Amino acid sequence: MHSRKSSHGGHKSPADHKFFDEVGHALEGAHEILVIGPAQTKEEFAAYLRDKHAQLGRAIVAVESADHPSDGEVLAYARKHFTAIDRMFTPA
């Protein structure tokens, strides 16, 4: 396996485009996508979607940094970016 040097001097494995593609296919039909992840991986995934799955790339509403977020943190990000979620659960 080849690796490239990261900006902090360590070695980083290249992005797993096969995995990114599998996730892209699993997301087909999504209208809004929030990408949450650590370091550069989230940015690499978002860029991959924009390049290889253009319709999904346009559905990305935000890219947030988080390393091992709790369920509550994921929900808070979702509420921040997906206003429809709040409307679905707000009593009429």
Distance separating alpha carbons of residues 30 and 61, to the nearest angstrom: 11
For residue 9, tell me if it sits in a domain: no
Domain, as residue range, for 21? 16-89
Give the residue among 13, 76, 8 at the shortest CA–CA distance from 41: 13
0.75 exceeded by pTM: no
What's the gap between Cα 36 and its chain centre?
A: 5
For residue 77, tell me if it sits in a domain: yes
Sorting pLDDT into bands at 50, 70 and 90, what band is 90?
Answer: low
Q: Which pLDDT score, from 0 to 100, does residue 47 have?
A: 96
Average pLDDT over residues 49-69: 94
For residue 46, is pLDDT > 90?
yes
For residue 59, tell me if it sits in a domain: yes
For residue 32, tell me if it sits in a domain: yes
Using CB atoms within 10 Å of the CB of residue 20, give its burial: 0 to 12 exposed, 13 to 18 middle, 19+ buried. Answer: buried
Number of separate domains in the chain? 1
For residue 55, is pLDDT > 90?
yes
For residue 6, tell me if it sits in a domain: no
For residue 8, tell me if it sits in a domain: no
For residue 43, tell me if it sits in a domain: yes
For residue 7, tell me if it sits in a domain: no
- Could you report the per-residue pLDDT of 4-27, keeping only the tens digit for each? 444 545 556 678 999 999 999 999
* CATH code of the domain in which 78 resides: 3.30.420.60
